[in-house]
Structure 1
Amino acid sequence: MRAADGAGRGGDAGDKRDEQGGVAGVSGVVGVIVKRASSIAPDNFDAFCIRGLKQFLNLEYASKRLIDRQNVPVRHHRNARKQAKQIGFCLALGLEYMENSKVATLATKPVLLYYSAMNFALAELLMKQSGDSSLTLARAEHSHHGLSFGAPSNVSRDATTLQQMSACKAKPMVSSGKRRGTFELWHRTAREHPVIGVHSDQDGKTSGPIPLMIGGDERFELLDEGGVSLLECIKLIPSLSEELARYGAYSSYARGIISSTKSGECHSISVLVHPGPEEIISGVSENILVSPALVPGIEIEEFQSGFALTANIYRGQKVNLSLPMVTSLTSGEVRICGVKTSINEFGAFLAALFILSNLCRYYADFWMERISAHAGIAMIAESLCSEYFKRVPALVLAELEGTLFVRR
C-alpha cells in the first residue's frame, strides 16, 4: 500500500487485439487496481451489491465498463462486447449458484458456493485481463480449477478442529513446470484493495470515506506449492475472527483505524493498531516500510499491545510509505494483515470453498460424520458460508466497478 497521491500506474494496453475479445497478451492489461471508494447504508448494503452485480448482466453496461477500464480503441469495441457478454454469463452462473445454496444443507452448500466463487473469479479476470484470458482461448491451457486438493489422510479421528483444518489444503496446479487453471489466471491480476478512511483538512472539515492509500500494481507472491490450509484461509477472512477464537485460534489481521489530516504544508497519515496477539501486532509493525527521507517525520507511540504511528509528509517530499495488506470493513474500520500471504480476502474464500467442496464430494465419511456431530470444522464451515453472502458480492463488485463499497 502507498499513499493515494502516489497511486500505481496501469500498464500500456497496446494496440494488438485478437478476435476473441479484449487486448491480446496478459502483459497489456490495464485498470486492475481499485482506486475509488464509496460508503453505503448498512441496511441496504447487501441488496446494493447484488443489484450492482446484476447490472453487469446488461450487455451495454458491461461493455462500457470494460471499454473504459481497458481503454479499448473504437475499432476493437466489437471484441470488447464479446468479452463483456462472457462476464455476464459468469456472473449469472455465480449468482444462481449462490441463490441455490440458500436451500442446501451444509452437506452440499460448500460445493454450490465454490462454483459461485469460481464463476465470480472468471468474471473478475475477464474484466481486468486481455482476450488471451477469454473463456474461448483460456480453455486451451487453463481448463482446470487451478488448484488440487491436499486430503486430510493422516488426521486421526480424535484430532482437534485446528489440526483437521491445518491438514486440508488447496495446492496450486503445476504441470510441466507451469501453473495452470482458473486460479492461476485469477491470481495474475489479483491485487490489494485501497485503504479507506476519513480525511480532515486544516479548516476542520472532514471528507470520507476516501482512498487514503492505494495498492501497488504488483502480483501477490506465488502460492507455495505446498498449498494453503483451510485454517490459513479462515484466518485471512477478518469477519471470522470470533469464530476462530472459540477454538483457540486468532485472525491473521489486527484491528485498526487509518486516517489522514492536512495542515499547511504537512499531510499526515495516522495508523492506530488496536491490541491483539503479539505475533500479529509484531507482523504488522515489521512490515510497515518507510523510505529513509520519511524517517524524521515518523512518530510512534507504543502501547502494552498495539501502537500508533503517524507519518508526516511535507509538500515536495519524495517519500514512500508502505503498509501490509489492509481490508476495509466499514468507512472507519480496517483490518491490517500481520502475516505474509499470497492471496487476498476473495482468494481466501475461493481456496477455502475449494477445500470444503472436495470434502463434500469425495470424503463423505469424513464430512457427514463431522456435520452430524456438529464438529468444529463443520461449524466454522457454516460460518464461512454465511459470511460469503455478506462479503463476496461486495468484493467482486469492487473489482468490476473499480470502486470499493463499504458499509457506512
Structure 2
Amino acid sequence: MASVKVKFRPSSVNGKEGNIYYQVIHDRVVRQIKTDCRIFESEWNGKTSAVAVPVLASIERKNYLQSVASRIEWNVKRLTAIIALLEKGNKSYTVEDILVKFNRQADGQSLFPFMQGIIEQLKWLNRIRTSETYSATLASFMKFREGQDILLCEIDSDTMRLYEAWLKANGNCPNTTSFYMRILRAVYNRAVEKELAEQKYPFKHVYTGIDKTVKRAVPLKAVKRIKELDLTLKPHLDYARDMFLFSFYTRGMSFIDMAYLKKSDLKNGILTYRRRKTGQQLTIKWEKCMEEIVTKYAGRSVTQYLLPIITNPLADERKQYRNAIFRVNAALKEVARLVDLQIPLTMYCARHGWASIAKSKNIPLSVISEGMGHDSEETTRIYLASLDTSVVDRANSLILKDL
C-alpha cells in the first residue's frame, strides 16, 4: 500500500523560510508534491513531522502556522482517501495515478465545493427550484459544521446522526430533517458514482421518511368570508386575498404558475398554461371572477405577465416571485385572523380547499385529478386522504353522543 509523508526542506539561504512538501511512495517509487507552505526551520518538528508553533511567536505568526498545519492535515487526509479508494479498486495503480487524482480533485473530494458544483449544474439546467433546495441544505449543513468543510470519504453514520440531533435541537420537524437528509444522500451517492467516496451507507440510521401530516382544508364558508372582507384600507391584505382567491378560482393553481402566467396565455376565453412542477398543460375556462382580479391590477405591471407578481422587467424574476410569496403568505395569516379561521392560511390552502370542497360535492376523483393537474388518480387519492378529517370527526361525535 502507498504511504504519505510530510517533509520540510530548509532554505539554502540563512534566515529564509523553507517549504513543506509531501512525499508519496508506492512500489518503491517516490514522488514529491510541492506546496506553497513556507515556514522557518525553527517552526518545524522533525521528530513528529509537524509544524511547531513557538511560544514567543506573534499572534499573526501563530495564526499563520496554525493555518499551515490545518492545510497539511487536510491534504494528507485527501491523499489517504485517494489511496484507500485505489486500493479498493480491482485495478493496480501507480504513484502517478495518486498524483493525478490529487491534482484533479482539489475541489471534488470535499462536500462543500462538490455540492456547490451540483447546485451550479442544476441552475444551468434551469432546475431553479431544485437548486434552491440544495442550496438551503448546504447552508444548513455548513452551519452545523460551523463552516468547516468535510471530505466526502469522512461522511459516515456518526456524522449524520450528529447532524440529525443538531437539526432536532434547533427546532426542525421530522419532515424538514428528512428533507435535508434525502438531499445529502443524493449528493453522497453521486460522489460514490464518481468514485470520490466509498459507499458506507452513512444515512442508514437517520430518518429519511415522510411523516403524514393532516392538512386542514379551508371550507367553502371560510372562502366566502375571505371574499367578502372589506380590505379597502389595507391594500397589502387586499392583494394577498385576491391572489388567494385567484388560485382558488383556477382550481388551486400554484403561486409559481400564477407568477409566470403570460397575457398571451389567455385566448378566446380559455387560459392555457403548463405546470412548472410537472410540465403538464392545463386549460381553464375564463370566468368573470378571474377577470375582475386581473382588471383590478391591470395598471400595476408593464411586463408580459398577467398578474402583478413579477412586475419589474429589469429585476431578477425568481427573486420577485420569492419575495411576493413571502409577503402574501405573511399577509394571509392576518386575513385568517380577520375571518376567525383557526388554521395557518397560506396560498397552498387554496389548492387544499378546492380539492376538499370538490370532494365534498361528490365530484368524481378523475375530474378532481384532471383539474389539479395530477399525474394519476392515485396521487389525488393520497392527496385527498390527508386533507380533511371532518367526516371522520363527525362520525366520532355521533358515536360519543351514545355513551
Asked whether the two chains share a fold, i.e. TM above 0.5, the reply is no
Q: Provide TM-score, normalisation by structure 1.
A: 0.21
Higher strand share: 1
Q: Which structure has greater helix proportion?
A: 2
Q: Structure 2 length normalisation: TM-score?
A: 0.21
